[in-house]
Structure 1
Amino acid sequence: MENNKDCCKFREFIQGNEEFLNNPVIKDFLSKKANYQLLKQSICHPTFQNKERLDQAFRGFYFNIRFTAYISSTLYFHAINLDKKISKLNYRFPVTLDQPFKEDTEVSLKDIAIYHEDFELKSDNILDYITDPDIYNALKSLTSNQRNILYLVYIKGWTDSEVGNYLKKSQQAVSKSRNKALKKIRRDLKLPSENCIF
């Protein structure tokens, strides 16, 4: 059992080091009962072993803080870099129907092939929206499932996940089918494939 002299020594330490003890890192360290007891032991019984145990506990605690901060910042910067890479990839490899029809124009395949909503065409068949004969024939050679997926994505503006829910298929299956259809359209239209990511 600790004597009064030891308790007084610890109380004096607490009163004389208020600013130090209010440091957020120290406060957090001492919030654990075991660490608080190690501090008390090293003040009341200042042996080498007691001080060493306190130092070891603090080094381990501080390492965890720094390691967590390092991992957090690494993840943060990797997320930013990944976002930049995805944006760059999307800029370099736009969706097939969004690509320019010719090199010297900004008009895309979608612009020349599909009626805009202003015409208020109400049809669930993508072929009814096509005005270009070559694209019409390329779309006609697809399976009805592929045409339906392209209709839901490019006419209705649904995501692959929404199409999957509607057709009771997985998002991966929809994405694979859509990519396969776009690859076939590109091949049928004899469009260059160097910019194609499918």
Structure 2
Amino acid sequence: MENQKIEEFFYRNNEQVNNPIIKSFLSDFNNLYLVQKAILYPTERNKKLVDESFQSHYINVRKIKYVSNLIYFFSLDFDKKRRRLQDRTLLILDKGLSEEGSTTAKELIEDASIGKELDHLVGEGLLDNIEDEQLLKSLRKLTVKQLQILEMIYVKELSIKEIAQTLQTTPQNISNLHRKALNKLKHTLSKKEE
């Protein structure tokens, strides 16, 4: 008799019972027990217990939904900001790596195609001709490209234009690298004198 009364109640209120919030409420055994008790013994106290339990459940569902939406929209915003920042941030190879700005990232990148062409032009000639220990240590702190340019200018006696053609770059770039190499040498030598 009791089961029939409960089944009739759920049958009459089938549309409300199929509501996702009510379904999740009734999926908890304690809540289902309270509802069945209120159906069988419809006192004010039993109805109030179901009502309080449902309000608590509904508040929790709303909180979970709110936090879920926050996470979703914040993740979308985060992705948009990250992509926007990634599109704005460009790799700048001409900027100095240190505060002095003497060596750039572009100078540290080796060009594999140049290596074999330069073997006959650049050897240990420049470093072999240096007797001053401080100057030798300072020269070893230069990049390979800076050393190559200094050797081509001072040992091989090539012009800036000839070096630019050999290294497949512009004469301005060779002049800049030459000037930076000399400035770096001057800076490291002046530090050692102090």
TM-score normalised by L of structure 1: 0.48
Which one has the largest radius of gyration?
2
